[in-house]
């Protein structure tokens, strides 16, 4: 399966030029509701939805586990006056985050190269652990839950926005579509709602609740599907002329399969909050 670092290293240009812009650093889908009905607003609105669910307060310390290009960290510092530490195992992402941090001079924000299943931080160090479409990359999701529990203070919250399996297994076609989507995105598999809740309970979280928020994300998912469907014929031409490589072309194909898998009922978009 494709390595996570390799995937994000090769698709960096596509995320930066196709999905976001210099003002919006999101490497995730948008959340559409009464607060946002356009693409870039919806990308930022995902941060609001997660922050509201976790009840992030001014002065709290948030760990963004799998921070991508730092979108949530900068948003939390600006809109919730929270301290934010972003981590990623992809050095190029942290270098990008640091460059933006140097430009914006945002206070209370820092970035570190680290594995969210094995971080360098002490016990009970954070008020909130935050994972937006990043937990999917963990081979064993329980390892992430265990580390999040260790890092949180008593009463701390874990908030997750993630792709959730509808069942294990789903239909034969659904399983095929899941593999054709997940593997090119450097994701071995995704877990069911029951599996996520079992992980949370087994490591010690006292309460956990998951909401299906697909209706808020469906527009964003459909937009990516349409964009990639239109771009794929050009991508094949670019591949023939060696302008793009297999990783980038397969990333586009996988994005199309993701929406098809959603239509097959193989997965849904969930938000989970757990309290220590």
Alpha carbons 147 and 166: distance in angstroms, whole number: 25
Distance of CA 140 to the CA centre of its chain: 16
Distance of CA 101 to the CA centre of its chain: 20
* Residue bearing tokens 């008020």: 127
Residue 95 buriedness (CB in 10 A; 0-12 / 13-18 / 19+): exposed
Question: What long-range pairs does 246-249 form, CB within 8 A, spacing at least 24?
Answer: 247/2, 247/6, 247/7, 247/10, 247/11, 247/184, 248/10, 248/11, 248/14
Alpha carbons 205 and 203: distance in angstroms, whole number: 6
Domains of the chain (ranges, CATH numbers):
4-169+189-218+267-275 (3.40.50.150)
As given in the structure block, the two tokens for residue 97 are 């985050």
As given in the structure block, the two tokens for residue 271 are 């938000």
* Residue bearing tokens 């959730």: 164
As given in the structure block, the two tokens for residue 161 are 């926005």
pTM above 0.75, yes or no: yes
Task: Write out the chain's pLDDT in tens, 276 residues.
Answer: 899 999 999 999 888 878 876 677 899 999 999 999 999 999 999 999 999 999 999 999 999 999 999 999 999 999 999 999 999 999 999 999 999 999 999 999 999 999 999 999 999 999 999 999 999 999 999 999 999 999 999 999 999 999 999 999 999 999 999 999 999 999 999 999 999 999 999 999 988 999 999 999 999 999 999 999 999 999 899 889 999 999 999 999 999 999 999 999 999 999 999 999
As given in the structure block, the two tokens for residue 105 are 């001079």
Alpha carbons 55 and 42: distance in angstroms, whole number: 19
- C-beta of residue 68 within 8 angstroms of C-beta of residue 136: no
Q: What's residue 22's pLDDT?
A: 66
Distances (CA, A) of 169 to 63, 108, 187, 189, 238: 33, 44, 17, 11, 36
Distances (CA, A) of 216 to 95, 195, 258, 269: 32, 23, 16, 9
Q: What's residue 275's pLDDT?
A: 97
Q: What's residue 17's pLDDT?
A: 79
Q: What's residue 21's pLDDT?
A: 67
Computed from CA positions of residues 132, 133, 137, 138, in that sequence, does the dihedral angle turn out positive or negative? Answer: positive
- With b for 16 or more beta-carbon neighbours within 10 A and e for fewer, the 133-150 pattern comes to bbbbbbeebbbbbbbbbb
At residue 154, what are phi and psi to the nearest 5 degrees?
A: -55, 130
């Amino acid at each position: 399966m494709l390595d996570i670092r390799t995937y994000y290293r090769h698709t960096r240009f596509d995320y930066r030029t196709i999905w976001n812009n210099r003002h919006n650093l999101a490497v995730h889908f948008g959340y559409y509701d009464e607060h946002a009905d356009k693409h870039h607003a919806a990308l930022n609105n995902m941060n609001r939805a997660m922050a509201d669910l976790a009840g992030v307060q001014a002065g709290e310390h948030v760990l963004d586990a799998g921070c991508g290009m730092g979108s949530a960290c900068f948003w939390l510092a600006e809109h919730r006056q929270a301290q934010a530490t972003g981590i990623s195992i992809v050095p190029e992402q942290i270098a990008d985050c640091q460059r933006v941090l140097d430009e914006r001079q945002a206070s209370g924000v820092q970035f570190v190269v680290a594995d969210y299943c094995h971080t360098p931080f002490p016990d009970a160090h954070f008020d909130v652990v935050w994972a937006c479409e990043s937990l999917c990359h963990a081979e064993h999701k329980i390892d992430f839950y265990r580390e999040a529990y260790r890092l949180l203070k008593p009463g701390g919250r874990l908030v997750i926005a993630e792709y959730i399996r509808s069942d294990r297994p789903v239909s034969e076609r659904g399983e095929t579509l899941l593999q054709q989507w997940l593997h090119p995105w450097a994701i071995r598999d995704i877990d069911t709602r029951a599996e996520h809740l079992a992980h949370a309970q087994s490591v010690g979280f006292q309460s956990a609740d998951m909401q299906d928020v697909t209706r808020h994300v469906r527009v964003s998912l459909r937009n990516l599907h349409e964009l990639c469907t239109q771009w794929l014929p050009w991508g094949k031409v670019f591949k023939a002329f060696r302008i793009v490589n297999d990783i980038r072309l397969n990333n586009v194909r996988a994005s199309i399969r993701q929406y098809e898998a959603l239509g097959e009922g193989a997965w849904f978009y969930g938000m989970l909050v757990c309290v220590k």
